[in-house]
Structure formats: structure tokens, C-alpha cells
Amino acid sequence: MKVLLDTNVLLRLDDTAHRQHPAALAAVEQLLASGHEPLLVPQVVYEFWVVATRPLDVNGLGLTTKKTAEILADWLGMFRLLLDERGVFGNWQQLVVRHDVKGKQAHDARLVAAMDRHGVTQLMTFNTADFERFSHITPLSPVSVAAGELPT
């Protein structure tokens, strides 16, 4: 099974002091041990960069660009990156209209559009409720995945 990792999973993997770090780490380890393939898309990489390099006092991780680049290089060596393709935009446009997506949730719809384009139906995220409107994908909670609850 291919599983797209949401930005919040990567952020928790890197922030070892965060209360959700253990669940993120255990969930990724569980995916790998079970033979599943964790995936990234460019949007997740861009979003990680934004939060990782943003100062701590504005809800960022406060990392240097050099450190952030090193972390991303490690992940891109570990997880396959699915590239953006022309079909993603058209699918995104249909999704936001069909599901009445507004505001920041348009970013979530873009992840779903990329998933659709690449035939991925599983998304691991700490924000599963944000993806419930998209009934053709399955949002997976890292806590559930860490506990061994994986769809077949």
C-alpha cells in the first residue's frame, strides 16, 4: 500500500520534543515494517520548509535553511517523491468546486488531487477530519497506524 505523508507528520518526526513525535515515528516505522510505501509530494516538502524555517515565536521550528535542507535530503532519500504533473491542477479545480472547499483547506484538496493523479488512496495525517469530505481517499491517523491499525 502506498501512503502519502502529510506535512504535519514530517513536522512531528523532526520535532522530538512535540507530544505527537512518538506517534509519528512509530507510525512511519510501522508502515515500513509492514511493507507499505510512505510517499511525499512537492507540496508537503514546500510546507515543511515554510514551518521548519519560520521562527519559534510564530509557531515554527526555527531551523536554519542548511539544517532544513539536510533533513529534507534525508527524507527524500528515504521516501519516494511523486512529482507534480499537469493533471493535478485540473483535478484540484474540480475537487474544490465539487466539495465547496474554502480558504486554507484548498491546500488539503491539492494533496488529494496529487493523490488522485498518482493512484494513492491512503493519507497519513494528524488532521484526519480535514479530509473526511473526500470519500474516495482514506485518512489514516498516525496514532492508529502506530497501534497496527492498517487498511489492507
Which tens digits make up the pLDDT trace of 26-41? 999 999 999 999 999 9
How many Cβ atoms from other residues are within 10 Å of residue 141's Cβ?
A: 17
Return the domain boundaries, the chain: 2-146
Model confidence, pTM? 0.92
DSSP letters, 34-74, are TT-EEEE-HHHHHHHHHHHHS-GGGTS----HHHHHHHHHH
Task: State the Cα–Cα distance between residues 63 and 71, nearest whole angstrom.
Answer: 10
pLDDT in tens, 5-62: 999 999 999 999 999 999 999 999 999 999 999 999 999 999 999 999 999 999 999 9
Q: What is the pLDDT of residue 152?
A: 67
Question: Quick check: 126 and 5 in contact, CB under 8 A?
Answer: no
Please give the CATH superfamily to which domain 2-146 belongs.
Answer: 5'-nuclease (3.40.50.1010)
Provide, rounded to the nearest whole percent, the portion of the chain with pLDDT above 70: 99
- Rounded CA-CA distance 60/98 in Å is 33
